[in-house]
Chain A
Amino acid sequence: MNTLKKLLGFVWMLLAPAIICFLVYQANIKIQAAGESTRANVILQWSIILIIFIPICVGFFLFGKYAATNEYAHLPSTSEEINN
């Protein structure tokens, strides 16, 4: 199971930047395709999406990094383990 956790960690690490690239690519396409009257709205919508999801993807990358370095091989069973 620990090997699977570790391998999936690499998947999450790759997935996080892939999601960012996908979102930026989509934002670019949709903004370019928007007409004059709706462009401001489309820019606003995509700005919201990017501002929210880029930090979350960074968190997801860190999660993957912790998983890849076997940080989740053992989960703390008491608060002492977290506090120390």
Chain B
Amino acid sequence: MITGKTIAMNAEKKQSSIAFVIGASSVGTLIEWYDFYIFGMLATILSKQFFPAEAGTAALLSTLAIFAAGFIVRPFGALVFGRLGDLIGRKHTFLLTLVIMGGSTFAIGLVPGYATIGWAAPIIVLILRLLQGLALGGEYGGAATYVAEHAPVGQRGFWTSWIQTTATLGLFLALGVIILIRSNQGVENFSAEWGGWRYPFWISIILVGVSVLIRMRMSESPMFSKLKSEGKTSTNPLKESFGNKANFKMVLLALFGAVMGQGVVWYTGQFYAQSFIETVCKIDFVQSRNIMLVAILMATPCFVLFGWLSDKIGRKWIMLLGMLLAILTYRPIYKEFIAITSASNRTQIVDYRITKAGPLMPLVDAKDRHKMYIRQVIDTAYLDGSNFKYTITDTLIGFNEFGVDRPINLINPTLIKYKSPKSNIVIEKTMGKSATWDIIWLIFIQIVYVTMVYGPIAAFLVEMFPTKIRYTSMSLPYHIGNGVFGGLVPFLGTLIVEFTKTSSNPSGDSLAGLWYPIGVAAVCFVIGLVYLSNKVDKNVMD
């Protein structure tokens, strides 16, 4: 006889079982995101390590292209591992993706730099990056499907939203680990060929090992097991997903009506924002990352909030509202970033002890002794607590070798064959407390948009497709939307700004890069508004 106590115990057991499913799936997915993002976080250092030193912006663009290559192959990973997940099961497939991801990340940390092995370095890194992308392409769909297939009816949005937090928390973990190592080692040691930038890659192997052990304890998804025992699994998931018009048109709708917009909002809020405050606003490396960490931490609970809310009012309107807000406010937000960090908007402290120009420091190039750099550091303090540091470097080339370092006034001008016509000026801004919080809030707002579009999307995609081809069908639009449309935001954003550079405006229009995410999100918003249904599918067992 079933008593009230038995029912309560069963409910409790079910709750703890779903908590384990969420925990075990989320840890692995979080680590995969961590692995994937450390590459982007370290792009500036990687471009110096794996490309010729003189390549400059071209090296950075090439590194971003390698970074983007990891995104571009994600749809292929979705096809390969999605098919596998629909054929052999969710559990073993996403165990395999985890191992591939961990192995390739660890290996990136072992590749010698360009200085040691030449062009082999970027080629090996590219191959490993492609493996990372393939693995991630297989991971997410598996984890989201697995959790959704365990979730109780009416709570699918809530439970899958925990998986949705992992992408942001993976970014958080990547930022945290990098800052911790860098502040312990110092900039010089961190950026050296075998320096601390490699540690985040090496740490991955430990994290993946722990996660594999946890995942091995998991059982197969109940829905997939049922299909398998009944012999109803798909024999050709790719054909059934994309060869069947009824399903293929839903794949296209998912991509153009939801995921494409979600992808660009995600990557603008969490990647482009960080790149913008660092490269355009010139905020100091550590402070820009700390700002991101605080904003991410504050906004992350909203994933669960919007996931839960989507169970109550439907997924469509939450996602579309997130996109609309992003479209309308991106440009004002980024304009505000520039205004907050501008020198013209603050009062300088005119005391020479605080606003000071350091001595001119001549440094002879270690490799080419005909070359000398004259460097001067100017520190400027402002009343709001901000400090802007300008490092101005001129390059001199002599007729003869320069001797030992000596004061600039001792260098005979007749010895100088060439002087760089324009000084290289590096600006590092450390913002005061109030300005820092203004920036944190502006990034927080963007991450709230991310949580609106991303929190409900796993449940939305799972409900669109049948169990037997779900892994394949949902993975492809997800990874085209996020990997291609989203992943290309930093690369295309930088490229669009490059196009606006002219001789009369050498720095270009720094806000022009935003037209790409705004345009994609706008088209997606219209399609979602007109074509998507707000109905929550209660039965995903079919």
Contacts and interface: CB of A to CB of B under 8 A. Distances in A.
A56 B535 CA distance: 27
A54 to B, nearest CB: 12
B462 to A, nearest CB: 11
Interface string A23-67: 000000010000000100100110011001000100110110011
B65 interface: yes
Contacts of A49: 492
Given A60-B256, A79-B467, A71 B249 contact: yes
B256 A83 contact: no
A19 to B, nearest CB: 10
A8 B246 contact: no
Contacts, number: 72
Contacts of B246: 76, 81-82, 84
Interface in B520-542: 523, 526-527, 530-531, 533, 535, 537, 539, 542
Q: Tell me which of A4, A12, A15, A45 has the highest count of chain B C-beta atoms within 10 A of its own C-beta.
A: A45
Contacts of B290: none
Contact of A80 (B58, B465, B542): B542
B436 interface: no
Contact of A82 (B69, B244, B480, B539): B244
Given A52-B72, A63-B256, A76-B246, A30 B499 contact: yes
Contacts of A77: 535, 537
Q: Tell me which of A52, A67, A75, A82 has the highest count of chain B C-beta atoms within 10 A of its own C-beta.
A: A82
A48 B72 contact: yes
B439 to A, nearest CB: 30
Contacts of B535: 77
A52 B484 CA distance: 8
Q: Tell me which of B252, B253, B492, B537 has the highest count of chain A C-beta atoms within 10 A of its own C-beta.
A: B252
B221 interface: no
Contacts of A81: 246
Contacts of B256: 12, 59-60, 63
Given A44-B65, A59-B252, A67-B531, 20 more contacts: A1-B530, A12-B256, A41-B58, A41-B61, A45-B65, A52-B72, A52-B484, A56-B484, A59-B256, A60-B256, A63-B253, A66-B249, A72-B253, A75-B253, A76-B250, A77-B537, A79-B465, A79-B467, A82-B246, A82-B250
Nearest first, the 5 A-B pairs at minimum CB distance are A79-B466, A79-B542, A63-B252, A82-B246, A66-B249
